[in-house]
Amino acid sequence: MHPIVIIGSGMAAYAVAREFRKIDQNTALVMICADDARNYAKPTLSNALVGNKAPGQIALGDAEKMSTQLNMHIMANTWVKAIDAEQQVLELECDGQPSTQAYAKLVLALGATPIRAALQGNATAQVHVVNNLNDYTAFRGELDQKAAQRVAILGAGLIGCEFANDLQQSGYQATVIDIAEQALARLLPQDVATQFQSKLQAAGIEFELGTTVTSIDLESHGYHVTLANGKTLQADMVLSAIGLRANSELAQDAGLQVNRGILTDTQLQTSAEHIYAVGDCAEVNGTLLPYVMPIMQQARALAKTLSGHPTHVHYPAMPVAVKTPAAPLTVLPVPQDVDVTWKIEPQEDGLIAQAFDHQHTLRGFVLLGPTAAKQRLSLTKLVPDLIPAQAQ
């Protein structure tokens, strides 16, 4: 009997393995990953500085520990070069040596890759991205080595704002640059974004919005950052956080259907039999949600399916807590295909913004400030499920 194989070692991969082992302790389980397979919570990377956590303290376990804990064979530093979906065989490469691995069922937990802007200048290769623990280790290493003070951040989305808050609260000067006219443009209505930005500015974070970076050059005193609006900035380091692109090439090369991510149904099955997808690479029933709570919902459902009990994933309303203590924020994103009208209620230290569709049904909300945050549970109960629970 061939094993169940998981490709990837991120949060989604380990969540599936952990949930599966709660149900089935004996079926052979194999994890294959291109990195060292350390287990860690990716969301901790954007607030590790203020939490005084060094990169070496973030990992919860190395490959050996996780292999023992989950009774799973881990093939670290191994690349999956191709998937033969018909024969149910993987083509692998480790240290330049090819090999193969058969599977009974395959889980694609391939994650996503940071999008990089097309920039000019002699220092474009020195722009950091932080999408995994190795990236973060390199970022922190240079931050400490240079005794950096000024950090320019490309992107005023969720990750960019979280890193800006973490850096600013840890004694650095953060400047956030984005082509959008507001912070968190994909999540917040304009009035809310204005207040959110004002709170971050009050904490010392600077913003350059409605423009882009055109070039980055290394000079004797640091990086010279040129903006499209004609302004220039000086920075000791540059961090890019302009978005992620689902890693779907391996699946596409194998003939699986992909769109923004790897397409799956509500049982997480791809267009190929015996192959499933989870996490940042999975577009589930037309929805791509790169957040923790959807990953956990996927892992629980898929574990049951892998154990022989086909189960549909259930997406209840899942608010996202943005890690910006200078401007406490909780967001329940509005589904992309839903037109809404926002109702905004000021609070003593923030606001509550509710998004209603044409049927006057609450479809999303934003809570800014500690007082507003207390309404999270009551409002969440009013929002319909994104993917309803189905009878199994």
Which residue is it, tokens 């992309």?
A: 336
Q: What is the predicted pLDDT for the residue at 198?
A: 97
For residue 374, give both structure tokens: 């207390």
pTM over 0.85: yes
Among candidate residues 165, 157, 162, the one with its CA nearest the CA of residue 202 = 165
pLDDT of 221 reads 85
Class of domain 4-113+245-306 (CATH, top level): alpha beta
Return the CA Rg of the chain. 22
Domain ranges of the chain: 4-113+245-306, 116-240, 328-380
> What pLDDT is attached to residue 1?
85
**How many Cβ atoms from other residues are within 10 Å of residue 176's Cβ?**
28
What is the predicted pLDDT for the residue at 148?
77
CB 56 within 8 A of CB 29: no
Q: What is the pLDDT of residue 146?
A: 80
311, 313, 324: which is closest to 279 by C-alpha? 313
Lookup result for tokens 């319909």: 384
**C-alpha to C-alpha distances, 315 to 285, 296, 318, 390, nearest whole angstrom:** 11, 10, 7, 11
Q: What is the token pair recorded at 151? A: 């950090």
- In this structure, what token pair is assigned to residue 45? 């990377």
Task: List the beta bridge partners of residue 218.
Answer: 223
Tell me, yes or no, if the two domains 4-113+245-306 and 116-240 fold the same way. Answer: yes
- Could you give phi then psi for residue 314, rounded to 5 degrees? -115, 125
Would you write out the chain's pLDDT as a tens digit for each of its 392 residues? 899 999 999 999 999 999 999 999 999 999 999 999 999 999 999 999 998 899 999 999 999 999 999 999 999 999 999 999 999 999 999 999 999 999 999 999 999 999 998 999 999 999 999 999 999 999 999 998 887 799 999 999 999 999 999 999 999 999 999 999 999 999 999 999 999 999 999 999 999 999 999 999 999 889 999 999 999 999 999 999 999 999 999 999 999 999 999 999 999 999 999 999 999 999 999 999 989 999 999 999 999 999 999 999 999 999 999 999 999 999 999 998 899 999 999 998 999 999 999 999 999 999 999 999 999 999 999 999 999 988 55
Q: Which residue has the tokens 């302004």?
A: 231
Sequence letter at residue 169: Q
Contact 82, 253 (CB under 8 A): yes
Predicted confidence at residue 391, as pLDDT, reads 55
- CATH code, residues 328-380: 3.30.390.120
SS (H, E, C) the chain: CCCEEEECCCHHHHHHHHHHHHHCCCCCEEEECCCCCCECCHHHHHHCCCCCCCHHHHCCECHHHHHHHHCCEEECCCEEEEEECCCCEEEEEECCEEEEEECCEEEECCCEEECCCCCECCCHHHCECCCCHHHHHHHHHHHHHCCCCEEEEECCCHHHHHHHHHHHHCCCEEEEEECCCCCCCCCCCHHHHHHHHHHHHHCCCEEEECCCEEEEEEECCEEEEEECCCCEEEECEEEECCCEEECCHHHHHCCCCECCCEEECCCCECCCCCEEECHHHEEECCECCCCHHHHHHHHHHHHHHHCCCCCCCCECCCCEEECCCCCCEEEECCCCCCCCEEEEEEECCEEEEEEECCCCCEEEEEEECHHHHCCHHHHHCCCCCCECCCCC
Cβ neighbourhood burial of 180 (10 Å; 0-12, 13-18, 19+): middle
Return the bridge partners of 217, or none: 224
What pLDDT sits at residue 38?
A: 97
CA distance 108 to 282: 8
Q: Which fold is adopted by the domain 116-240?
A: FAD/NAD(P)-binding domain (3.50.50)
How many angstroms separate the most distant Cα atoms in the chain? Answer: 65
